Amino acid sequence: MRVVDSHLHLWDPEVLTYRWLEGELDTAYAAEQLLDDRIEDVEEQFAIFVQADPVEKQTIDEVRWVSSIAPETGVVAIVAGARLDRGRKTLAHLDELAAFERVVGVRHLLQGEKDGFARTPKFIEGARAVASRGWTFDACVRDHQIPDVTALTEAVPDLRIVLDHLGKPAVGTDDAPLRPTAEWRRDIADLARHPQVHVKLSGLPAEAGGRWDEDQLEPFLDVVADAFGEDRLMWGSDWPVSAMHASDEGGEDFFMEGVRDDWCHTIAQWATDRGLEVDKLLWRNALAFYGIRRPAPGVAS
């Protein structure tokens, strides 16, 4: 089995400033920590770095830092941070990003924006600029914002979009699981009608607060598999965010090694059980979506 982790975060508060970090997350998760938490029993493993939201003025610095540690972390591509609603400033920022060979796409975090933000003229103008470069867009939204992503696909039909974390549906926990809602199923089906949109099989462990099992999450995986098919799904770890486990005592979350490995093999087993081609979900689809030539064998195996 070979793996491209389509959604990996790296950060170091000693290098960059992240105002959102707290608790166990407020420490370095970079090369050393990643190498201690590798996926087991695979022939090759690489990753696509997705921006970790440092302060806005450090967006380029983040790309520069990740590029510097890419060889040792197996990062073959970067989805950089970019605000798409700044007009000429957006275009200038995209020009700066283009100087880095590993940048293949951008993410403007939509989950913290007001509903309808992705439908505004300024944002659509920026999205068109991304599409004109042949880059991708990672859409990180809450479940109720999925219709905004659908509207964006209709406004910018040549923009390749991947929905992060299945749109963050409410999944409950292992001892109090929730079923997929009718609204989320409907919105996923609507989005899937647009062939330029893919979905990342990522983030559900975080939505469960780190307390999850296969029976709880597989109904959500089944919905996106039925809607999108095996050619438009890609596995992602959402490491280290999805490696946080909620304390049973109600204290701070704590980091658990091995969750990345567990989630990868959970997806592989689920795909096998459903008759889906595992190599597509864990390797080929991510490379194809992000336009990455096949990584050199053995670099990060």
Spell out the per-residue pLDDT of the chain, length 301, in tens: 999 999 999 999 999 999 999 999 999 999 999 999 999 999 999 999 999 999 999 999 999 999 999 999 999 999 999 999 999 999 999 999 999 999 999 999 999 999 999 999 999 999 999 999 999 999 999 999 999 999 999 999 999 999 999 999 999 999 999 999 999 999 999 999 999 999 999 999 999 999 999 999 999 999 999 999 999 999 999 999 999 987 766 667 899 999 999 999 999 999 999 999 999 999 999 999 999 986 754 444 4
* In a domain? residue 194: yes
What's residue 249's pLDDT? Answer: 64
pLDDT for position 47: 98
Q: Give the pLDDT score at 248.
A: 65
Residue 215 lies in a domain: yes
Calpha distance 255→119 (Å, rounded) = 37
297 lies in some domain: no
Candidates 112, 240, 239, 266; CA nearest to 174 is 266
| pLDDT confidence of residue 265 | 98
Task: Cis check for the bond before 240: say yes or no (omega within 30 of 0).
Answer: yes
Q: What is the distance between the terminal CA atoms of the chain, rounded to a whole angstrom?
A: 11
Provide the pLDDT for residue 22: 94
CATH number at residue 196: 3.20.20.140
Number of domains in the chain: 1
Q: Tell me the β-bridge partners of 254.
A: 245
Q: How far is Cα 203 from Cα 138, in angstroms, rounded to an integer?
A: 13
Q: Is residue 49 part of a domain?
A: yes
Whether the CB-CB separation of 299 and 46 falls below 8 Å is answered with yes
DSSP 8-state code for residue 30: S
Contact (CB, 8 A) for 86 and 54: no
Residue where the block lists tokens 């087993």: 269
197 occurs within a structural domain: yes
Residue 300 lies in a domain: no
* 3-state SS, residue 285: helix
Whole-number pLDDT of residue 293 = 84
Q: Taking Cα atoms as reference points, which of 140, 219, 235 lies closest to residue 185?
A: 219
**Does 104 map to a domain?**
yes
What pLDDT is attached to residue 253?
82
Could you read off the pLDDT of 44-77 as tens digits, one per residue?
999 999 999 999 999 999 999 999 999 999 999 9
214: phi then psi, degrees, rounded to nearest 5: -60, -45
Determine phi and psi for 203, rounding to 5 degrees: 80, -15
CA distance 97 to 104: 9
**Token pair for residue 108?**
């403007």
Q: Which domain holds residue 233?
A: 2-289
Residue of 55, 158, 49 whose CA lies nearest to 107: 49
How high is the pLDDT of residue 212? 94
